[in-house]
Amino acid sequence: MILESTNNNQQSTINNNMSKTKNWPLWEIFVRSKNGLEHRHFGSLHAADADMALENARDVYTRRNEGVSIWVVESKNITASNPEHNGEMFEPAQDKVYRHPTFYELPDEVKHM
């Protein structure tokens, strides 16, 4: 799916389209694969409300034993960065290697870094 930047005008366009086609709203699904790991974005699906989104997510994304916990959030509640601003947003970080923690050794006990 494409996340639109959510200024108010675009927001209303999205909602208008929805009511025209009678589609259920879109939900983003986050699944925790096992205890100790973080929830990761797995995909998106349609549902009429949060409860249905949870049930649908259970059936669509965890039927092969992929998860132990599910979060759902309606897609319209996500504010996304605008790709047009990628230059000012992300490029300044490209030449700053010293921000990577590569100049000291991590102990073996530290996992998931």
Partner 1 sequence: MKQNLYNYILGIADNSLILGQRMGALTGHGPSLETDIACTNISLDLFGQVRSYYQYAAKVAGDKRTEDDIAMLRHEREYLNVLLVEQPDTDFAYTMGRQFLFDVYHFLFLTELQKSKDLTLSAIATKSLKEVSYHQRFSTDWIKRLGDGTEESNKRMQTAIDDLWTYTDELFHQTDADKEMVAEGIGVDVTTLKEAYYQKVADVLQESTLTIPESKYFQKGGKQGIHTEHMGYLLAELQYMQRAYPNMEW
Residues that bind partner 1 (CB under 8 A): 24, 45-48, 51-52, 55-56, 59-60, 63
* CA 85 – CA 64 distance, rounded (Å): 39
Cβ count within 10 A of residue 70: 19
Question: What is the number of helices (H) and of strands (E) in the chain?
Answer: 3, 3
The CB-of-78 to partner 1 minimum distance in angstroms stands at 19
Q: Are 80 and 41 in contact (CB under 8 A)?
A: no
We find the least distance from the C-beta atom of residue 41 to partner 1, in angstroms, to be 17
**Shortest gap between Cβ of 53 and partner 1 (angstroms)?**
9
Q: Between 51 and 66, whose beta carbon lies closer to partner 1?
A: 51
**Cβ neighbours of residue 55 closer than 8 Å, sequence gap 6 or more:** 47
Q: Which is nearer to partner 1, 31 or 45 (CB)?
A: 45
Q: Residue 46: name the closest of 67, 74, 70 by CA.
A: 74
> For residues 11 and 59, which CB has a smaller minimum distance to partner 1 in the complex?
59
| Residue with Cβ nearer partner 1 (6 or 25) | 25
Q: How far is the CB of 40 from partner 1 (least distance, A)?
A: 20
